[in-house]
């Protein structure tokens, strides 16, 4: 009995090792800001209801926002937009938030184009939030833009969606 248990244990260990050799491990890309010190905050709200265009076109959710990074060390921006969503075709199309810094989407993390889940049928409201980070910015003024659109997920050429009351918070940090 003891020998049988040992054989089963050995064969299990070998099977697991063989599986590990044949398995491709995927590691998600995680972005780390490092230790930061808050230096500046900008907060905006807007209550205008905006009809959203079909992606890749987008509508600005806010007027252009300038944020100052103080001299001394590279700057990291954190920006978050939360908005009411309505009339997005549930299960058919998806809402997208877009972000850029200084007119570029390069190095906006996790991605400049975030998919926001919405099941808001006609006349219903939900909210969706997107948060981004942009690291290693030079001291000085930087332009942050956020927008929204509806992605024609099913490819039928027709989209519908609106954003309503929304807020934008931008925080500028310096490295410690």
Summarize pLDDT for 13-48 with one digit per residue, the tens: 444 444 344 444 455 567 777 788 899 999 999 999
Q: Choose between 114 and 100: higher pLDDT.
A: 100
pLDDT for the residue numbered 95 = 86
pLDDT band at 91 (very low <50, low <70, confident <90, very high): low
Residue 128: name the closest of 105, 102, 146 by CA: 146
Range of the structural domain that residue 81 is part of: 37-175
Into how many domains does the chain fold? 1
Q: Domain of 95: which CATH number?
A: 2.60.120.660
CB count in 10 Å sphere of residue 165: 14
pLDDT > 70 fraction of the chain, expressed in percent and rounded: 77
Span 117-165, pLDDT tens digits: 666 666 677 888 999 999 999 999 999 999 999 988 888 888 888 999 9
Q: Indicate whether 12 belongs to any domain.
A: no
Whether residue 121 is contained in a domain is answered as yes
Long-range CB contacts for residues 28-37, cutoff 8 Å, separation at least 24: 29/110, 31/109, 31/110, 31/133, 31/135, 33/76, 33/78, 33/133, 33/135, 33/173, 34/76, 34/175, 34/176, 35/175, 35/176, 36/76, 36/173, 36/174, 36/175, 36/176, 37/173, 37/174, 37/175, 37/176
């Amino acid at each position: 009995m003891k020998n049988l248990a040992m054989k089963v244990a050995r064969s299990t260990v070998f099977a697991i090792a063989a599986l590990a050799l044949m398995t491709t491990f995927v590691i998600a890309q995680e972005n780390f800001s490092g230790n930061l010190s808050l230096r500046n905050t900008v907060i905006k709200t807007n209550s205008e209801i905006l009809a959203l265009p079909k992606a890749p076109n987008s509508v600005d959710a806010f007027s252009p926002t300038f944020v100052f990074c103080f001299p001394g060390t590279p700057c990291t921006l954190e920006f978050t937009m939360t908005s009411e969503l309505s009339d997005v075709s549930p299960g058919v199309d998806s809402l997208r938030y877009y972000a850029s810094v200084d007119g570029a989407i390069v190095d906006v993390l996790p991605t400049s184009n975030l998919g926001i889940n919405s099941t808001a049928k006609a006349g219903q409201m939900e909210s969706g939030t997107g948060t981004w980070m942009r690291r290693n910015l030079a001291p000085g003024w930087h332009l942050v833009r956020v927008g929204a659109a509806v992605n024609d997920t099913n490819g039928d050429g027709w989209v519908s969606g609106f954003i309503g009351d929304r807020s934008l918070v931008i925080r500028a940090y310096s490295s410690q």
